[in-house]
Structure 1
Amino acid sequence: MSSGFLTNALIAVSLTLVLVGAAVVVFTRPPSKQAVVLSVYGILLSIFFVTLQAPDVALSQVAIGTAVVPLIVVLSIRKIASIRDEARSEREGEQS
C-alpha cells in the first residue's frame, strides 16, 4: 500500500464524516441541541482540515467553530427565552 492511497482514503473518510455531520446539523430541530451538534460538526471540520494539511485553518476552526459560535447561539437562545418570559409576565399582569 502506498502512502498516496492511505492519504486519499483518510481524506475520503473525513469528508464523509463532514457530510454526515452537516446533514445532522441541518435536521436537528431544537436550537439548543443544534448548538451542540454544531460544535461537534466544528470538530469534524477541524479533523478534515488537518487531513488536508491545513493546521492553521483547523486551529481557527477549533477556536471559532467549536467554541465561539455555539456559545453565541446558546446565549442568544437564553436571552430570547428571558425576553419572552418578561413579555408573558407583563401580559398576565395587564389581564389581572
Structure 2
Amino acid sequence: MSPNDVFDLLILTLLIGCALAIARLKDLAAAVVLFSIYSFSLCLLWVHRGAPDVAMTEAAVGAGITAVLFFYALTRTGRREK
C-alpha cells in the first residue's frame, strides 16, 4: 500500500466519521463545526487528487460561506434540536 493510498484511506475515514457524527448530533452549533471540518477534509482530498480549482471552491463555499450562513441561521433559531 503506497503512501498515497494511506492518505486517501485516512481522509475518507475522516469524511465518513464526520458525516455520521453530523447526522447524530443534537447540538446544531457542533454540527456546523463538524460540517466545516468535513468540508476542509474534502478540500484536502481534492488537492491531493490534483484538482486545486475544485479544492478552492470547496474551501470558499463549503467551509467558508456555508458555515457563516449556518451560524447566522442558528442565531435566528435555537441551538439545540428538539
Q: How does 1:2-81 map to 2 (within 5 A)?
A: 5-80=2-77
Give unmatched runs, 5+ long, in structure 1.
Answer: 82-96
> What's the CA shift string for 1:28-84, capped at 9, x where partnerless?
211122111111111111111122211111111110111111111111121235xxx
Q: Identity over aligned residues, as a percent?
A: 21
Distance 1:69 1:63 in 2: 9
SS at match of 2:2: helix
The root-mean-square deviation of aligned C-alpha atoms, in Å, is 1.7
State how many pairs are aligned.
Answer: 78
The one of the two structures with greater contact order (alpha-carbon pairs below 8 A, sep at least 6) is 2
What is the TM-score of this pair, normalised by structure 2? 0.81
Higher normalized helix content (fraction of residues) = 1
What is the TM-score of this pair, normalised by structure 1? 0.71
Q: Which amino acid aligns with 1:37?
A: L
